[in-house]
Amino acid sequence: MYRVPAMKFGLFDVNQGACLNPTVLMRIAQQAEAAGLESLWAGEHVVLPDPRVAPSPMEPTEPILDPVIALTFAAAVTTTVRLGTGVIILPQRNPLVLAKELASLDVLSGGRLIFGVGVGYLEPEFRALGVELKDHGPRSDEYLAVMRSIWSAERPEFEGRFFRFGGVKAFPRPVQRPTPSLVIGGHSAAAYRRAVEQASGWYGFGMTLDQTAGALAMIREAGGRWPRASELGPLEISITPPRGDVNHELARRYADMGVDRLILRPPHLGDVGAYERCVATIGIELVDRV
């Protein structure tokens, strides 16, 4: 399992809660960068089931900004911190439109995008967006191929079950070549396979130490079954623990398992002070110490 000399730390929820206020988002993004955090992360739900149904993580009236727009705003007020989608629900998106949006963010940020993707799991969301949930895995694989083509091929084209295009190009292309850093989210065998075969990293959300250990065992198994191109390098592991404070000892235990990046959540979304304290704690107690 890949290890880095020092664990990297990110901040989640920069498109929710107190960060819905643009002044707060600007301040938190700048404070995170100044404190030495490596990345800012934003999740996604285009729509939410109403009424709420399990396993939806949010009430239908809870606001959440589009992650690409929120991260572009954060890019404009920072210079070095990386910008991660955690995660975009790929099969719900038009892959060419999404490729244009993400390439634009990568260009405007100077190559700071981390493209985190997932396949989704809430059927009412898919139904509202005109996409069948049962095909979300194969559709995601096709959409990733579409995006790689439009980003990097000399003559971009694709002919698949769900999507086909040709005879067009889209510029500017991302700063990161041949594509932005790709991180696969999810806890299924297909997600582990997709990460091993296609991605620079894998992302587990809301995972305890025990759950992380189980996922890493599954990733090791997938690594023995599926080929990995040498140019992808070692698979980087990112984890968001359950919401709450993460101290030095807990971070070290994740690091000792082989986790490369912890993406932490403020304990209270609506409290500006909770965001600021979370950023300060990460900077003082964790950055360059784990």
How far apart CA 63 and CA 94 sit, in angstroms, is 23
* Domain extent at residue 41: 8-286
Mean pLDDT computed over every residue of the chain:
96
In a domain, 2, yes or no: no
At 278 the pLDDT is 94
Q: What does the pLDDT average to over 142-151?
A: 98
**pLDDT over threshold 50, residue 274:** yes
At 5 the pLDDT is 52
Q: At 158, give phi and psi (nearest 5°).
A: -160, 140
In a domain, 1, yes or no: no
Instruction: List the beta bridge partners of residue 262.
Output: 9, 239
In a domain, 81, yes or no: yes
Q: What is the CATH number of the domain that holds 142?
A: 3.20.20.30
In a domain, 225, yes or no: yes
In a domain, 41, yes or no: yes
How far apart CA 131 and CA 108 sit, in angstroms, is 31
Could you give the number of structural domains in the chain? 1
In a domain, 158, yes or no: yes
Burial label for 33, CB within 10 Å (0-12, 13-18, 19+), is buried
pTM: 0.96
Helices 136-152 and 189-198, packing angle to 10 deg: 10
User: Per residue in 185-230, pLDDT tens?
Assistant: 999 999 999 999 999 999 999 999 999 999 999 999 999 999 999 9
Closest CA to 185 of 139, 149, 237, 226: 237
User: Would you list the DSSP string of 52-80?
Assistant: --TT-SS-TT-----HHHHHHHHHHT-SS
At 126 the pLDDT is 98
How far apart CA 190 and CA 272 sit, in angstroms, is 38
Mapped onto helix, strand or coil, the DSSP state of residue 6 is coil
User: Per residue in 149-191, pLDDT tens?
Assistant: 999 999 999 999 999 999 999 999 999 999 999 999 999 999 9
**pLDDT over threshold 90, residue 111:** yes
Q: What percent of the chain has pLDDT over 90?
A: 96
Tokens linked to 46: 């285009």
At 288 the pLDDT is 84
